[in-house]
């Protein structure tokens, strides 16, 4: 199996006086799903941001140890180099949308890495087909149900074809139907061999995970 993402002896806090986690080791292989659980405020989102490079590239703090993408420290890569391998879906799907036309939001990533026009179109079609949103290609994101909006946000990331996908409490704003839709889609991503990080404080939503990292104040445990 290929090791894709690795945290080695990783410690992080927004200030050195209050570290959120220390000496954390985590390895994510191709096709593997790791769940992250822990109470609100324990540092789950901050860890996700360390794993996708938002920390240290956009947000800073006291960061020790390292995070490696196929052996390369994220701090030494540019954010756009990380984004083609690691994508993150947030709690709030609206964070991913800036255009009133769904497909324009999907074009943003591949346009940013300067793919040829035809390939951008193919990537958009592929992502919408995977998320079963083809019929909403020209719709306003707000015309979609909550679950579909989250799949739309996921589609924006899928156009970059990342090998690693991080879901940071992506189901928390969704109703039961939305949760089911997202859960089923996460299952299909796993079947495709994507490496997944799934954060949720509801254990039942972590059933796709092969291992679970429990974060708590003063320690962590991987089981
Ligand atoms: N940008 C920031 N600056 C300072 N403190 C922050 C920042 N973001 C989050 N925190 C604090 O860090 C702690 C962990 O937050 P977070 O990683 O969002 O936890 P979780 O996702 O588990 O709820 C919280 O106490 C939060 O208030
Ligand atoms: Mg969070």
**Residue 53 corresponds to which tokens in the numbers above?**
């490079």
Residue 14 Cβ contacting ligand 1 at under 6 Å: yes
Location of structure tokens 């290609």? 137
Question: What sign does the dihedral 25-51-123-188 (CA atoms) show?
Answer: positive
- CATH of span 3-222: 3.40.50.300
Q: Of 39, 40, 43, 169, which is best to mutate to test ligand 1, by the most ligand atoms within 8 angstroms of its C-beta?
A: 43
Task: Sort residue 117 into left (φ over 0), alpha (ψ -120 to 50) or beta.
Answer: alpha
- The model's pTM is 0.96
pLDDT (tens, 9 = 90+) of the chain, 223 residues, equals: 899 999 999 999 999 999 999 999 999 999 999 999 999 999 999 999 999 999 999 999 999 999 999 999 999 999 999 999 999 999 999 888 999 999 999 999 999 999 999 999 999 999 999 999 999 999 999 999 999 999 999 999 999 999 999 999 999 999 999 999 999 999 999 999 999 999 998 999 999 999 999 999 879 999 9
Question: What sign does the dihedral 88-89-90-93 (CA atoms) show?
Answer: positive
Domain map of the chain by residue range?
Answer: 3-222
What separation in angstroms does the CA of 182 have from each of 33, 119, 212?
15, 26, 19
Centre of ligand 2 from the C-alpha of residue 36, in Å: 10
């Amino acid at each position: 199996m290929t090791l894709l993402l690795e945290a080695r002896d990783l410690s992080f806090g927004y200030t050195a006086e209050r570290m959120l986690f220390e000496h954390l080791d985590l390895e994510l292989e191709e096709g593997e799903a790791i769940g992250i659980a822990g109470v609100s405020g324990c540092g789950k989102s901050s860890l996700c941001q360390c794993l996708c490079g938002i920390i240290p590239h956009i947000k800073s703090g006291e960061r020790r140890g390292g995070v490696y993408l196929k052996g390369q420290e994220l701090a030494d890569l540019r954010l756009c180099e990380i984004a083609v391998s690691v994508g993150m879906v947030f709690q709030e799907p609206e964070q991913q949308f800036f255009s009133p036309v769904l497909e324009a939001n999907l074009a943003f990533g591949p346009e940013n890495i300067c793919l040829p026009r035809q390939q951008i179109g193919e990537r958009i079609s592929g992502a919408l087909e995977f998320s079963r949103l083809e019929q909403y290609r020209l719709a306003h994101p707000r015309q979609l149900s909550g679950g579909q909006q989250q799949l739309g946000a996921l589609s924006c990331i899928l156009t970059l074809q990342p090998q690693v996908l991080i879901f940071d409490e992506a189901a928390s704003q969704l109703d039961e139907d939305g949760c089911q839709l997202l859960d089923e889609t996460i299952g299909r991503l796993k079947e495709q061999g994507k490496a997944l990080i799934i954060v949720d404080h509801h254990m039942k939503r972590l059933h796709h995970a092969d291992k679970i990292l429990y974060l708590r104040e003063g320690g962590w445990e991987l089981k």
